[in-house]
Structure 1
Amino acid sequence: SSGGGDESDTRSETSEKTPEYIEEDRPLLSGIHVKGATLNRLIRILIDSFDPNGILIDESEYPKVFFLMHKWIMESEHLSNMLYDLFKHNGDDYKKAIIDQEKRQFKECQLRVCQAYSYWIKNFPMHFDLDKRLKDACEKMQNLIESSGDSDCMNLVDLSQIPSFDWMRQMTVRNQAKNKTVSLAFNNIESQTLAAQLTYLEWKILRRITFTDYKIYAIKNTLQGNPRLERSIQFFNGLSTWIQCMVLSKMTPKQRAEIIHKFLEVAKYLRDLQNFNTCLAVIGGISHSALARLSKTMMCLSTEDIKFLSEMTDLLSSNSNYAQYRKSLAESEGFKIPIIGVHLKDIISLHVALQDRFEYDLINFRKLVQLSIVFRTLTNLQVSIPPIQPNHDLINLLTLSVDLSYTEDEIYELSLAREPRSSVSSPDQVSRGLSPGESANDSADVLKKKEQVQSPVFADWAAG
């Protein structure tokens, strides 16, 4: 009838007005051709990325990006329930189907759903260990598969081999060492050992920071209620402060220059370990205005030390949006620790510049792809292992030392006491590159955290 025709025309017009998919005309990663889509469509693309044997079609990066980034747009439990519904609906359709070809299609779709779920478990096991609601949703999925009697699918959705991620739940306990003197036999510790143990300590702190911690910070722009991220920033700033205190604890310019030389050696080994974050904290401490103004001390540094400090300040400089650092990071292979502040800044910039949704409430998947490139750099720390044998006694001493905090004013006053203002201002080449204090306090303006005021006790810090 004509009425039926009109209804059909109306439907097609409506579907044209409310698209569920926008194609990506400039793919950023291999196999990702969607720019925006409804959540249901994104899930369908996920399932269609696998063949029934679990092989990624065209080696697509889509599943990796989707599972890494899904918590930006939904809870993991919700995603699991959507995969559950897909499996169930295809099972119901399979029972109703009469034609063999249709039956095969429904069975194949169920298998693809399970292959996608299996990929999730294998590549992001921490999601399941750390999220009880997701684990419960997964068990619900397992029960459904079991009731269907599909042994192939049962083997795919299996949580029994997931390792424990208890270490991500635990926080490093900070030693509240108020008004205490910590004796760290600094001169007896090799620079290489110091760099290695600082790297191990940094890695332990940073790998606990979760996707959700980074996301919450990017959206709320506050450290409140974000203890793991706050701890990493306290460590970074504390290390820079400790370096300044170690230098200023020495009475003569020559002694102070020797401490700076030692920390420059530490920075060199940190660079070799591709630990850019701790390296920035160390170079930031040395470049801080409280030390950079010590002209007599700086004149005692060797030409090699001045040259190396200049090279490192160039490498870690914020010029051209940290261009030199980004190039070095991209060229680094194997274990590495990125500058957390720089990449946090990237996440915030992307989030502010790009909306989460397009017109018609389509999810901006291009934004998720761009964010995923940054998140990969940060979350790789959770699965990487440093090439270091930890020395727990030294790590505990370092933790104590770095946690002894002083105010900027206290440190600057001590700097003035060591070399009063009448001294000639510090040489240009020493303080160029990183502006005074940039690394310790502004390494990415986002990393500002004032420490509690405590009484300065410098005398015995550098025992030995």
Structure 2
Amino acid sequence: SMASASGGFAMAKYWGDEKHPDAVYAVYLRKVRYVPPAGYEGVPRYRPLDPDKQPLSSEMAAAAAAAGGTTDHLQWESVKERHIKAGTLDKLVECLIGPDNVMDSRHFQVLFATYRAFAKPFEVLERLQRRYSTMEEEAGASTQALVTQNSIRSILVCWLDMYPEDFYATDDDFVILSKLVEFASKFRLVELRSKAMKLRQHFKGVKADGGLMARVSSLDQQAIKFGYENPDVVENAGERAKQFDVSMGNCVQIAEQLTYWDATLFKEVIMHQCQSSVWSRRHKLGAERYYTVKATIDQFNAVSQRVMTSVVLPECKPDFRAKIITKWIEIAKELRAFKNFSSLKAVLSSLQSEPIHRLKAVWSLVPPKSLATFRELSAIFDSDDSGDEKRILDAEGTAKSSPLRRPQLIQNCRRTKSDVNLAECQGTVPYLGSFLTDLTMIDNATPDYTEDGLINFEKREKEFEVLAKLRLLQSAARAYRMPRDAAFCAWFHYLPTMSDKECYTRSAEVERLPASSTPQPGIGGVSKSQTIGRLFPLSSRGSGGAGGGTVAGATGGGESPTLARALPGQTSRDSGIHSDEADGMNGCSLRGQSLTAPSTPINSVSWKGGRSTFYHSGRAGTSSSSDFNPLLSSSSA
């Protein structure tokens, strides 16, 4: 029987660089140990005789034959391995096939995850097709040529499966896919031809439905889909946005639904859209080049603006405003337990922002325990080396449970099937801004090309390490098991939002500035308040974001001008869903009452027979009536 090299490979050692006009290779020496087959006794380590080397003496050969094989009794040896560091596009594509004429899976992963920074899909496809064609004449007489062709076919199939968006085009004919179909037909590659034709047909349907961007889910789309965007709701949104439910019983529900949407959007992120070559040039390239990342950023900004607005907008006493902050801290704690670092960062950044940070009288009324929790959670995202974000992701990122999930978290809130699932199986949603920053730093610190004009592939290796971590976390996010709550979509969609500048103006009205100081928004605040929205602002922010906005309206009396802009006549973004408990809250008034929306739809009523979901659709001047709406049922007991 034949032996094989074992998995006991020692760490490869760097030997040096090997330079060529069209490529630079890093050469490594790897120690390979050889393991005897089962039943081979007497020699602890051996290697099959290399037929290209000098044969053994007749005595040794006879002894080896008697033992069951031809061996040179070599226990281990050092073998050279070459990894391309820089090269032309031709050479990088050529290296997809290893020395053994088989696809180099590692090089495939790195190249196809990052090549868009220096080449277009049709350029890579053209080179693969050309190499396949040159092998056609040799394939009949050479086994190696046939193996190479099979490897190229495997590369093309894997490319179609793993990166189908590379073949999408705005033209009607999808030229690159048509060329691939033509190529596959010419060389009778049945599987490749079938996949390419199916993908082309699929993309035609996608284009007819509005393109790839239209297929990305969003919370606002769901609110519209379930019929909440109707004249009655919009007309009475301002009237219904008069209570902020500061009770703590629904914090888990809010955190759960924010996690549902963050996980949904994160799972749709196309990794190469995070590359700095795309992200840092997004304003020039257009939204279609980074639409999956943009959807995640839009959701982050939507959460951030709603948290900030919910604190500064109400006309209420400081103690009630402190309760609003306390509730968001509690929600942040639950987000940490859900391992949702995206909305966690959004909530914390809003509470650290200048419009909220400067409200000293309000913060003095926040309970010490909540302040301690706030400081502990904020430390996760410290920009210095003491930040725990990377350590936590390394320790918990791919685990299917959270050390912070405790059974008692769910005891005092609604009991649903999703609660049971969450206690058992759980994913992770990272803060994407940290990874975008890492990729930007790599891009800024490393040149795209060497001094000789070769593509710097070492840079792409570094980028791939970051993208690979993101892909791993993407897989972990699939572990979440929670239903979508349509009532939450409506509530979140209609929450009022104001821009950073408007929030600061309103904050100055809540607590007057000292006469001796005139600070500006974003100056003198907490240094950690750099949110992803502020680092990477999008044009939609500041005018309502993802579903919010301020429209001029008139209100009488002594109300503040900022508050007046957010009252009836605006798109108030409140679903009108509120809890009975909230109706009895004191200390908050627009003439006595808060103008922000409830912090969650209390749409779950537990009965012995199961869970019913209600939509509160009371109009101004009348009491709310609860009518059962099957559209809002997200699960059953």
Give the structure-2-normalised TM-score.
0.57
Contact persistence 1:118–1:158 (CA under 8 A): no
- Pairing 1:12-411 to 2, within 5 Å after superposition: 19-24=21-26, 33-48=83-98, 60-94=105-139, 100=141, 103-128=142-167, 132-146=174-188, 154-155=190-191, 158-159=194-195, 168-170=212-214, 172=218, 181=238, 183=241, 187=245, 190-206=250-266, 210=270, 211-212=272-273, 214-215=275-276, 217-220=278-281, 222=283, 225-226=286-287, 228=291, 229-248=293-312, 249=314, 251-320=316-385, 323-331=387-395, 332-333=397-398, 335-378=427-470, 384-385=477-478, 386-401=480-495, 404-411=496-503
* Deviation at residue 23 of structure 1 after TM alignment: 1.8
* Aligned counterparts of 1:347 and 1:178: Cα–Cα separation in 2: 45
Change in CA separation of 1:327 and 1:434 when aligned onto 2, cut-off 3 Å: farther
> Contact between 2:274 and 2:436, CA under 8 Å: does it hold in 1?
no
Matching residue's letter, 2:256: A
Q: Which moved more, 1:203-212 or 1:269-278?
A: 203-212
The whole-number CA distance in structure 2 between the counterparts of 1:457 and 1:201 is: 26
Note closer, same or farther for the CA distance 1:422–1:69 as it changes in structure 2 (3 Å cut): closer
Shift of 1:365: 0.8
**1:413 partner SS:** helix
State the Cα deviation string for residues 288-330 of structure 1 (Å, max 9, x = none). 222222233223222221111101111112224x842222223
Give the gaps of 5 or more residues in structure 2.
Answer: 1-17, 30-80, 400-426, 518-523, 544-548, 552-564, 568-593, 600-637
Partners in 2 of 1:250 and 1:333 — Cα distance?
Answer: 44
Mapped partners of 2:242, 2:130: distance in 1: 59
Going from structure 1 to structure 2, the CA distance change for 1:219 and 1:438 (only over 3 Å counts) comes to: closer
Specify the SS of the correspondent of 1:246.
Answer: helix
Contact kept in structure 2, 1:317 and 1:434, CA below 8 Å: no
Q: Work out whether residues 240 and 440 of structure 1, in 8 Å CA contact, stay in contact via their aligned partners in 2.
A: no
AA aligned opposite 1:24: A
Q: Quickly say closer, same or farther: Cα 1:310–1:412, change in 2 above 3 A.
A: same
Shift in alpha-carbon separation, 1:381–1:399, aligned structure 2, 3 A: farther
How far does residue 212 in structure 1 lie from its aligned partner after superposition? 4.3
Q: Deviations over 1:174-227 (max 9, x none)?
A: 789899637497638721221122223334445555434755544526377327
Moved more, 228-237 or 194-203: 228-237
Describe the superposition over 1:12-37 as per-residue Cα deviations: whole angstroms up to 9, x where unpaired.
Answer: xxxx995222123689xxx8821112
Give the counterpart letter for 1:23 in structure 2: Y
The count of corresponding residues between Structure 1 and Structure 2 is 417
State the one-letter code of the partner of 2:190.
M
Q: 1:49 to 1:274 in 2, by over 3 A?
A: farther
* Alpha-carbon spacing, 1:108–1:393, altered in 2? closer, same or farther (3 Å): same
Secondary structure of the residue that 1:74 maps to in structure 2? coil
Q: CA RMSD in A?
A: 3.9
In 2, Cα distance between equivalents of 1:284 and 1:405? 16
Separation (CA, whole Å) in 1 of partners of 2:284 and 2:339: 27
Q: Is the 8 A contact 1:179 1:454 kept in 2?
A: no
**Kept in 2: contact 1:90–1:110 (CA 8 A):** yes
The 2-side partners of 1:382 and 1:144 are apart by: 38
Partner of 2:550 in structure 1? 454
Which secondary structure does the structure 2 equivalent of 1:349 belong to? helix
Is the 1:213–1:226 Cα contact (8 Å) retained in structure 2? no
* 1:326-371 Cα shifts (integer Å, max 9, x gaps): 2222321153322222222222222222222223332111111111
- Give the Cα separation in 2 of the matches to 1:77 and 1:272: 45
Give the residue type in structure 2 aligned to 1:457: A
Structure 2 counterpart of 1:314, which letter?
A
Using the alignment, how far apart are the partners of 2:526 and 2:202 within structure 1? 41
Which of the two has higher C-alpha Rg? Answer: 2
SS class of match (2:482) = coil
Instruction: Tell me how far apart the structure 2 counterparts of residues 194 and 141 of structure 1 sit (CA, whole Å).
Output: 52
Contact 1:274 1:337 in 2 (8 A): yes
Instruction: Specify which structure has the bigger relative contact order, considering alpha-carbon pairs within 8 angstroms and separated by 6 or more residues.
Output: 1
TM superposition shift of 1:133: 3.9
Query: C-alpha displacement at 1:65, in angstroms?
Result: 1.1
User: Could you tell which deviates more after superposition, 412-421 or 388-397?
Assistant: 412-421
CA contact (8 A) 1:218 1:351 kept: no
**C-alpha spacing 1:406/1:280, structure 2 compared with 1 (3 Å):** same
What is the CA distance between 1:381 and its match in structure 2?
7.4
Contact 1:46 1:63 in 2 (8 A): yes
1:345·1:446 contact (CA, 8 Å) conserved in 2?
A: no
Counterparts of 1:318 and 1:20, CA distance in 2:
41
Asked whether the equivalents of residues 219 and 351 of structure 1 are also in contact (C-alpha less than 8 Å), the reply is no
State the SS of the aligned residue for 1:86. Answer: helix
Residues of 1 paired with 2:500 and 2:529: CA distance? 10
Q: Contact (CA 8 Å) 1:250, 1:256: kept in 2 or not?
A: no
Write the distance in 1 (CA, Å) between the matches of 2:329 and 2:372. Answer: 11
Cα deviations by residue, 1:39-97 (Å, 9 ceiling, x for unpaired): 22222221228865xxx66xx522111111122222222222222211111012335xx
User: Which residue does the alignment assign to 2:625?
Assistant: none
Report the 3-state secondary structure (helix = DSSP H, G, I; strand = E; otherwise coil) of the residue aligned with 2:527.
Answer: coil
TM-score normalised by length of structure 1: 0.76
